[in-house]
Amino acid sequence: MPTAMITGASGGLGSALADVLAPTHTLFLASRPSSRLDAVAERLGATTWPIDLADPGSFEAVVEPIVELDVLIHNAGVAYPGRVAESSVDEWRSTMAVNVVGTVALTLELLPALRSAAGHVVFINSGAGINASPGLASYTASKFALRGFADSLRADEPSLRVTSVHPGRIATAMQEDLVAYEGRDYNPDEFLSPQTVAQLTADAINAPPDAHVREIVIRPR
């Protein structure tokens, strides 16, 4: 079976992506070590890969055994709710380190394996990567940067398929934190389910080889 690495695979959208791809792909679940990650891997018969996107210096040794990779899904990310005036430089630094620099660094380490497989790189971006979201200043900036990196990768690596996924708000733990910041009660029915976003992402990955789905924009009905 083709191989797929998913970052941030321990819960939420990451585990939903693992669920939907498990029947068709050999999974490499990449995240910081945790019991939640182990549980997902055990349930799906997948392999765990200890990766901390804030520590790109460790990537080379971790991914060295991978000589071919069919799919790389960048799902991990952080968000610090706050408008521009409320944000701190440390929050900006942390957001960019994980959402942008770590993602770029992991892609570069895996680029030879992706080229060998004529692979597919998927960036789980956000609606905030298209239009700025109030109260998510550093997150929005990081997602705009991530979209630019995806576009550059697509232009510079024509043998690869590169897809940016821009969902609206998803019913995840991150969403609960944002709703709490907004001072509202959390109702998951107001948001996209992780399973819906995962299925649409899998549809792009499993598209026929002559199709290149470059961008997916998803909003709650």
Domain for residue 178, yes or no?
Answer: no
Q: Which amino acid is at 59?
A: F
Q: Which of 80, 139, 181, 186 is catalytic?
A: 139
Q: Is residue 20 part of a domain?
A: yes
* Distance between CA atoms of residues 78 and 5, nearest Å: 19
| pLDDT bracket for residue 217 (50, 70, 90) | very high
Enclosing domain of residue 36: 3-169+197-218
Q: What is the CATH number of the domain that holds 58?
A: 3.40.50.720
Is there a domain that residue 187 lies in? no
Residue 127 lies in a domain: yes
Burial of residue 155 (number of CB atoms within 10 Å: 0-12, 13-18, 19+): exposed
Dihedrals φ, ψ of 13, to 5°? -65, -35
- How many structural domains compose the chain? 1
Question: Rounded to a whole number, what is the distance in angstroms from the first to the last CA of the chain?
Answer: 35
Q: Is residue 175 part of a domain?
A: no
Q: What does pLDDT average to over the chain?
A: 93
Is the model's pLDDT at 96 over the cut of 90?
Answer: yes
Q: What is the pLDDT of residues 103-162, one digit of tens each?
A: 999 999 999 999 999 999 999 999 999 999 888 999 999 999 999 999 999 999 999 999
Give the H/E segment covering residue 72.
Answer: strand 71-74
**Does 58 reside within a domain?**
yes
On whether the pTM is more than 0.75, the answer is yes
Q: Is residue 17 scored above 90 in pLDDT?
A: yes
State the DSSP code for 151.
H
Tell me: pLDDT of 187 over 90: no
139 is catalytic: yes
Contact call for residues 180 and 80 (beta carbons, < 8 A): no
171, pLDDT greater than 80: no
Confidence of residue 191 (pLDDT cuts 50, 70, 90): confident
Percentage of residues of the chain with pLDDT beyond 70: 100
Does residue 177 sit within a domain? no
Residue 179 domain-assigned? no
User: Residue 205: what pLDDT?
Assistant: 98
